[in-house]
Amino acid sequence: MKKISLTVITLLSFKFALLSQVTSVNYLIKYNDTTSKYDCYLLINSGYATTVAKRTQFNAQYTILTPSGTDLNISERFMPLQNNNTYNGTIPMEWNIGSIIRSPQSQPQNNFFSIIVSLSPTSQYNNLYSGDTIKLFSLIVNPLPQCKQEVRLFQTGVDPNSSAAGMGGADLSNGFHF
């Protein structure tokens, strides 16, 4: 009887581990008055990730729009951490500007910056739970617009798609995968 109980508990635990995953996320960008930088976050809307496989970063694209005539640089990186499979990572993974589209014909008042995460070496987040807000990186925008809300996230269905004039076929939709 003890062996059967142990087997059932083990199977239930295995099933629980397989089901643990983050199922919905959003991005958030906020201007930080103290640092004069834009902080970029990942919001965990639902689900959780506690296993190495579920905490490991895969593809991600984070597209930011700035006013035309401005430039954007990634100044600091925070998460995920390289080689953080046992929660002892200390080096933030590289987030890099993948592509830039300046003042396209379809929306000349904006520049588009696609920011992507490097996939090597592997990187992980600490445990993630619904309601968590994780700072990924910070940006410097130069010159700083007077209206801070002019620096914003790409909005699918609002901003130009890949076939719009001047977009060069670039799909700038935000995306995130564990």
Q: Which residue ranges in the chain fall short of pLDDT 50? A: 2, 4-18
- The pLDDT, as a whole number, for residue 178 is 83
Domain extents for the chain?
22-156+171-176
Per-residue CA distances from 71 to 105, 126, 154 (Å): 18, 32, 16
- The pLDDT, as a whole number, for residue 20 is 62
- DSSP secondary structure string, 103-124? S-TTSTTEEEEEEEE--SS-EE
